[in-house]
């Protein structure tokens, strides 16, 4: 199965035709839909591996989890090789470009600092292709999990490869990253868990689209799991978020606009997190709402918000609590 990118015309890039002639061509903009599932691939530049050590893979997954907390997207499958990685991402109403650009920038900064280097890490933009059918979704996940078969020592046992979600699919281990929703695909292979895992491993080993069509019977593409998939709207009112945070934290709403105050830092952090997640705002808009603070300060507050949701039981469900409250009004 190939890897592609759905594109449309928008901005400008320069392409060299020959040594004396330069032609301006339209740069292409990624086609995106708020309810889409994407096959995303990231790749490193030729002269450097994307992940020099296993610790680098752990760091990328950890940073992806932080972005997942912010934007609420879902991961259905992944596999990380030395110079590239594949993910199936359900954007769940979020902007896939905003997610991946932020994640890859953060990882590149971290990678360069750890390995004492400068310059680019990723090869051009990330590649993405919209997954438009259930059949393609299952086949794609098998293709992704098939990648370790190319690594010496894993030719007959891709399920032993650590940095792939296949081990979770097959029930060998629980998801340690907190990223994965493997049930979304696995339940399409039938109600019997053991049989579903057996069939899925066959898919991974075959991973030939023609063979898959002949040898594997899929359930109807309009399966139950599709009807259970809900897309999160990203058009919430920031003033309602600030009022909600005020009520949840006991901090006067007016204080949420005050800069450099220790007593309101956690409340402002949670407000920033909810606005980044649920308002589909650019950073500059959040800066303006909170009293013309800097983008770096917004980023720092968002990181604090992620930490609060991850570690404080009081706030771990605060995003869902706000959504439920708004739905009931």
**Residue 212 sits in the same domain as residue 270:** no
Give the DSSP letter of residue 173: S
**Residue 172 sits in the same domain as residue 41:** yes
**Residue 200 sits in the same domain as residue 256:** no
Tokens representing 120 are 């680019």
In this structure, are residues 131 and 141 in contact, taking their beta carbons and an 8 Å threshold?
A: no
**Residue 215 sits in the same domain as residue 286:** no
What pLDDT shows up at residue 10? 37
Is 161 contained in some domain? yes
In this structure, are residues 273 and 70 in contact, taking their beta carbons and an 8 Å threshold?
A: yes
**Residue 259 sits in the same domain as residue 188:** no
How far does CA 4 lie from the centroid of its chain? 18
* Domain of residue 312, CATH code: 1.10.1750
Domain count for the chain? 2
The secondary element (H helix, E strand) that includes residue 145 is: helix 134-146
**Residue 249 sits in the same domain as residue 196:** no
Give the DSSP letter of residue 94: S
What pLDDT shows up at residue 16? 37
What 3-state DSSP class applies to 230?
coil
* Domain of residue 126, CATH code: 3.30.70.1290
Which residue, 177, 203, 228, sits at the end of a domain?
Answer: 228
C-alpha separations of 43 from 124, 125, 157, 286 in Å: 8, 9, 24, 31
94 has which bridge partners?
none
**Residue 84 sits in the same domain as residue 201:** yes
Is 233 contained in some domain? no
Q: Whole-angstrom Cα distance, residue 302 to residue 273?
A: 5
**Residue 124 sits in the same domain as residue 268:** no
What pLDDT shows up at residue 20? 36
Instruction: Give the 3-state DSSP-derived string for 257-300, with helices as H, strands as E and coil as C.
Output: HCCCCHHHHHHHHHHHHHHHHHCCCCHHHHHHHCCCCCHHHHHH
Is 139 contained in some domain? yes
What pLDDT shows up at residue 32? 52
82 CB burial (10 A radius; 0-12, 13-18, 19+): middle
| Residues of the chain predicted below pLDDT 50 | 1-30, 209-228
Is 109 contained in some domain? yes
Half-sphere exposure of 225 (CA within 13 A, CB side): 19
19: Cβ contacts below 8 Å, ≥ 6 apart: none
Is 248 contained in some domain? yes
What pLDDT shows up at residue 276? 87
**Residue 219 sits in the same domain as residue 271:** no
Backbone angles phi, psi at 15, to 5 degrees: -120, 130
Which residue, 228, 255, 285, sits at the end of a domain?
Answer: 228
Which residue, 228, 258, 281, sits at the end of a domain?
Answer: 228
Give the DSSP letter of residue 177: S
Tokens representing 151 are 């690594």
**Residue 297 sits in the same domain as residue 319:** yes
Q: Which residue has the tokens 């650009």?
A: 101
Tokens representing 324 are 């439920």
Q: Domain residues for 306?
A: 238-327
Is 289 contained in some domain? yes
**Residue 155 sits in the same domain as residue 23:** yes
**Residue 188 sits in the same domain as residue 68:** yes
Strands 21-30 and 7-18: antiparallel
* Polymer length of the chain: 329
How far does CA 113 lie from the centroid of its chain? 23
């Amino acid at each position: 199965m190939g890897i592609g990118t759905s594109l449309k015309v928008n901005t400008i890039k320069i392409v060299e035709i020959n040594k004396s002639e330069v032609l301006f061509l339209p740069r292409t903009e990624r086609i995106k839909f708020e309810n889409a599932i994407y096959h995303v691939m990231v790749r490193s530049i030729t002269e450097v591996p994307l992940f020099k050590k296993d610790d680098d893979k752990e760091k990328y997954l950890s940073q992806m989890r932080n972005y997942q907390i912010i934007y609420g997207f879902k991961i259905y499958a992944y596999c990380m090789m030395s110079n590239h990685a594949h993910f199936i991402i359900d954007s769940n109403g979020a902007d896939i470009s905003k997610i991946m650009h932020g994640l890859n920038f953060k990882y590149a900064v971290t990678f360069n600092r750890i390995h004492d280097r400068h310059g680019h890490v990723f090869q051009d933009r990330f590649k993405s292709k919209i997954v438009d059918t259930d059949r393609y979704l299952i086949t794609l996940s098998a293709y992704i999990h098939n990648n370790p078969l190319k690594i010496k020592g894993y030719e007959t046992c891709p399920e032993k490869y650590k940095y792939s979600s296949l081990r979770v699919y097959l029930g060998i281990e629980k998801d340690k990253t907190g990223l994965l929703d493997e049930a979304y695909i696995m339940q399409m292979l039938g109600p019997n868990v053991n049989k579903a895992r057996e069939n899925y491993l066959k898919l991974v080993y075959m991973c030939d689209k023609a063979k898959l069509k002949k040898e594997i019977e899929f359930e109807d593409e309009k399966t139950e799991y599709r009807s259970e998939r809900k897309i999160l709207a990203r058009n919430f009112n920031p003033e309602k978020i600030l009022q909600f945070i005020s009520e949840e934290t006991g901090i006067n709403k007016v204080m949420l606009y005050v800069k450099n105050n220790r007593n309101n830092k956690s409340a402002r952090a949670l407000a920033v997190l909810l606005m980044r997640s649920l308002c589909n705002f650019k950073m500059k808009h959040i800066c303006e709402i909170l009293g013309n603070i800097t983008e770096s300060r917004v980023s720092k507050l968002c990181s604090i918000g992620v930490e609060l949701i991850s570690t404080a039981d009081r706030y771990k469900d605060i995003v869902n609590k706000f959504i439920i409250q708004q739905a009931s009004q």
